[in-house]
């Protein structure tokens, strides 16, 4: 059974603050690491797919880094806005397109 851990489970930040959270995954048989943003009552939205050790990806105020050797990825949000409030999921892919998900980090941005 693959273990994908996300921390923290939830956090509250003030509007304008920057924040980050962690996804840890097995360091063996790595193929890809996915980040999704999931707002209530909507479909999870794909943010990043990362495949190479040292990868850094950016989408607006959101960025992510990847360390496959030690098995972790960080997601950063710069200058959080209320619309960033969502659950952020990471998912580990071991090569067969099947994904193993973490439980997510629930972010609440307080205006």
Partner 1 sequence: GAVVSQHPSRVICKSGTSVKIECRSLDFQATTMFWYRQFPKQSLMLMATSNEGSKATYEQGVEKDKFLINHASLTLSTLTVTSAHPEDSSFYICSARPGTPGAETQYFGPGTRLLVL
List contacts with partner 1 (CB under 8 A): 4, 32, 34, 36, 41-44, 46, 49, 51, 89, 91, 93, 97-104
| Shortest separation between residue 16's beta carbon and partner 1, angstroms | 30
Radius of gyration from C-alpha coordinates of the chain: 13
| Shortest separation between residue 17's beta carbon and partner 1, angstroms | 26
Write the DSSP assignment of 27-40 as a string of letters.
SSS--EEEEEEE-T
Strand pairing category for 105-110 and 10-14: parallel
| Shortest separation between residue 13's beta carbon and partner 1, angstroms | 22
Output 25 or 80, the one with its CB closest to partner 1.
Answer: 25
Query: Which sign, positive or negative, has the C-alpha torsion 82, 15, 4, 46?
Result: positive
């Amino acid at each position: 059974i693959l273990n994908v851990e996300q921390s923290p489970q939830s956090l509250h930040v003030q509007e304008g603050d920057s924040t980050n959270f962690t996804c840890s995954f097995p360091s063996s048989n790595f193929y890809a690491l996915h980040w999704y943003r999931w707002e209530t009552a909507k479909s999870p939205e794909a943010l990043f797919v990362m495949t190479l050790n040292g990868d850094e990806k950016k989408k607006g105020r959101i960025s992510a880094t990847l360390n496959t050797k030690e098995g972790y990825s960080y997601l950063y949000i710069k200058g959080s806005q209320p619309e960033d409030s969502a659950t952020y999921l990471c998912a580990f892919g071991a090569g067969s397109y099947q994904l193993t998900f973490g439980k997510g980090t629930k972010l609440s941005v307080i205006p």
